[in-house]
Chains A and B, each alone.
Chain A
């Protein structure tokens, strides 16, 4: 056992807390901004702990009333900050693009992990290389393609492009999860008489659940935070949260409170999604299959 002096331990703890606070503070400030009134956001000195909380920012962003005292105040820009449908757009795009990416990549990854074909190794490198292109380089050509084939400004278009951008990473991640499943398990099932499809569905897929969940989380977060494609490939039909956040910046000022309220609210679905798949994440992968 390593014996550490008390002072040393306290110093270490203090340093850890200090660094943690340093990172958490901006989040805290952002979170509290969502509950502040416009005049308090920029008050000098800044109100960190004591301010008069208000739900007004949320009311404006989501078009609902919490029944509190309504202050008659002119909004900066005077525009409409009703954003509930945009949150819905984000959820739809996030869920469907993740589902699509996972559906395609599990098959691809299993094939890459288990089947022998010419150039398999190069194929993997090639898949990864497609992800090295900066998204902007893809976005501009896609703008013209989407305009021509009529996918512009549609859910389908955004879901497809998000799924597409996620595929390389998802395939490689899942491949490594499949690679971790011992081949003897496949072989044992082959001798048992099972077809390739049956082995995949009944044995491999349930074992890879944790890996699939982890990959899904990453895909979802990518889609949830993606900016450039939604910006270039949509007009009025749909807009996801990251893009719409920029609309709080108006010619007459920035609605910081509303922006913070949307940001805080946008964390909730992503958080919920991760919470749902988390159970799968921690589950042991090949536990009990092999001698440990």
Chain B
């Protein structure tokens, strides 16, 4: 059990700087997800944590001890790789037992620990097989078993589900989360999939270009995205963005854009005439007669229980609204939408940082 802390971490490859002054703390027992698009530095950060990549500057501590120069095997970590990295010439049992064998545990103890892990992961019947004889999900579980038997302080996952099909991925999400509940080990989990992050994380660390964009609980990131990037990254379908200005009507702030005139919360910390980007989650939009948002339905996309309605506001502005199937919208027809003032997200047009629309608390 351990706290993982990064203090002003920098990383360069030659003269190319990929990470600068990154600081972050992951609490003991916490499930932290590093989320970001490819190339944002999340995997690099994970590999530095494992000791597979040198740290150019700054300090990494696990349990208060500086780890920068400590060999991976002495960091007390376990890692699951994206492609599982199973040893193909060894049977499942030996794959799981390898780290214990290296530690020179007794035969009986190795056997006990492997069987225990296999029972938890439903692998008992497969211990005698080679990795090539297993399905993707089973290989994934072997990789997890290998990490489990080590009783490591910190678990590192590098996009472990990206090679599985959608259904299996959803299943394994639950399994990994359950495993975490059971082991209570500090976990750092890298993914580019916001749904994985939302469903599994205690804490999401959203990264972009080697920096941390926002840190918070899944709810924090969904309800109060700190930047336009964060707002765009979380949620599916992703948030609609419309550019416009802040005006005042009858003493109350309004957002005015192409075919949009939205009343805003009175606690708004923006000035009259300020250029802003308005963020509207598709699921927050509802149909109305009052016409705050007017547009033409371009396409109705079925997703099962709901439909995604693609709406053109003007030549350049369009948005997506998610609604129940029976909303009556048809392609080519006109539609009027609205949104509760509390659900409107505003970002400064220049800095793209969030403008608080509601009094804090």
Cβ of B88 and Cβ of A198 under 8 Å apart?
no
User: Smallest CB–CB gap between B97 and chain A, Å?
Assistant: 10
Q: Chain A contacts of B102 at CB under 8 A?
A: 192-194, 198
Cβ of A191 and Cβ of B83 under 8 Å apart?
no
Choice from A189, A288, A291 contacting B88 with Cβ under 8 Å = A288
Choice from A185, A188, A194, A288 contacting B132 with Cβ under 8 Å = A288
Choice from B82, B84, B98, B136 contacting A189 with Cβ under 8 Å = B98
Separation of A191 and B154 alpha carbons in the complex (Å): 12
Give residues 36-88 of B contacting A (CB, 8 Å): 50-52, 72-73, 77-79, 81-88
Is B130 located at the chain interface by the 8 A CB criterion? yes
Is A93 located at the chain interface by the 8 A CB criterion? no
Tell me the nearest residue of chain A to B140, going by C-beta.
A291
Cβ of A207 and Cβ of B73 under 8 Å apart?
no
Q: Given A192-B146, A193-B73, A288-B131, is A187 in contact with B87 using a C-beta cutoff of 8 Å? A: no
Is B306 located at the chain interface by the 8 A CB criterion? no
Tell me the nearest residue of chain A to B152, going by C-beta.
A191
Cβ of B131 and Cβ of A291 under 8 Å apart?
no
User: Smallest CB–CB gap between A199 and chain B, Å?
Assistant: 10
Tell me the nearest residue of chain A to B132, going by C-beta.
A288
User: Smallest CB–CB gap between A208 and chain B, Å?
Assistant: 10
Separation of A225 and B54 alpha carbons in the complex (Å): 49
Tell me the nearest residue of chain B to A188, going by C-beta.
B85
Cβ of A185 and Cβ of B89 under 8 Å apart?
no
Is B331 located at the chain interface by the 8 A CB criterion? no
Q: Chain A contacts of B98 at CB under 8 A?
A: 189, 192, 194, 202
Choice from B73, B77, B85 contacting A289 with Cβ under 8 Å = B85
Separation of A44 and B78 alpha carbons in the complex (Å): 79
Is B182 located at the chain interface by the 8 A CB criterion? no
Q: Given A192-B146, A194-B98, A288-B133, is A182 in contact with B72 using a C-beta cutoff of 8 Å? A: no
User: Smallest CB–CB gap between A203 and chain B, Å?
Assistant: 5
Separation of A182 and B83 alpha carbons in the complex (Å): 9
Tell me the nearest residue of chain B to A208, going by C-beta.
B89
B interface footprint on A268-288 (CB within 8 Å = 1, 0 otherwise): 000000000000000010111
Is A73 located at the chain interface by the 8 A CB criterion? no
Q: Chain A contacts of B131 at CB under 8 A?
A: 288-289
A interface footprint on B109-147 (CB within 8 Å = 1, 0 otherwise): 000000000000000000000111110100100000010
Separation of A193 and B72 alpha carbons in the complex (Å): 7
Q: Chain B contacts of A148 at CB under 8 A?
A: none
Task: For chain A, give the interface size range.
Answer: 20 to 34
Is B236 located at the chain interface by the 8 A CB criterion? no
Tell me the nearest residue of chain B to A190, going by C-beta.
B72
Separation of A206 and B95 alpha carbons in the complex (Å): 14
Give residues 11-56 of A contacting B (CB, 8 Å): none
User: Smallest CB–CB gap between B145 and chain A, Å?
Assistant: 12
Q: Chain A contacts of B89 at CB under 8 A?
A: 203, 206-207
Separation of A289 and B50 alpha carbons in the complex (Å): 21
Is A4 located at the chain interface by the 8 A CB criterion? no
Q: Chain A contacts of B79 at CB under 8 A?
A: 187-188, 191
Q: Chain B contacts of A194 at CB under 8 A?
A: 73, 98-99, 102
Is A290 located at the chain interface by the 8 A CB criterion? yes
Separation of A202 and B99 alpha carbons in the complex (Å): 12
Cβ of B88 and Cβ of A286 under 8 Å apart?
yes
Separation of A6 and B73 alpha carbons in the complex (Å): 66
Cβ of A291 and Cβ of B85 under 8 Å apart?
no
Cβ of A191 and Cβ of B88 under 8 Å apart?
no
Give residues 178-219 of A contacting B (CB, 8 Å): 182, 184-185, 187-194, 198, 202-203, 206-207
Give residues 207-228 of B contacting A (CB, 8 Å): none
Cβ of B85 and Cβ of A187 under 8 Å apart?
yes
Is B167 located at the chain interface by the 8 A CB criterion? no
- 28 A-B interface contacts by CB (under 8 A): A182-B85, A184-B81, A184-B82, A185-B85, A187-B50, A189-B98, A190-B72, A190-B73, A191-B50, A192-B99, A192-B102, A193-B73, A193-B103, A194-B102, A207-B88, A207-B89, A287-B88, A288-B88, A288-B132, A289-B83, A289-B85, A289-B87, A289-B88, A290-B83, A290-B85, A291-B84, A291-B136, A291-B163
11 new A-B contacts, CB < 8 A, other than A187-B52, A193-B103, A207-B88, are A184-B83, A187-B85, A188-B79, A191-B51, A192-B102, A194-B99, A194-B102, A203-B87, A286-B88, A288-B132, A288-B139
The 9 closest A-B pairs by CB, nearest first: A288-B132, A289-B88, A193-B73, A192-B99, A184-B85, A206-B89, A188-B85, A288-B131, A291-B163
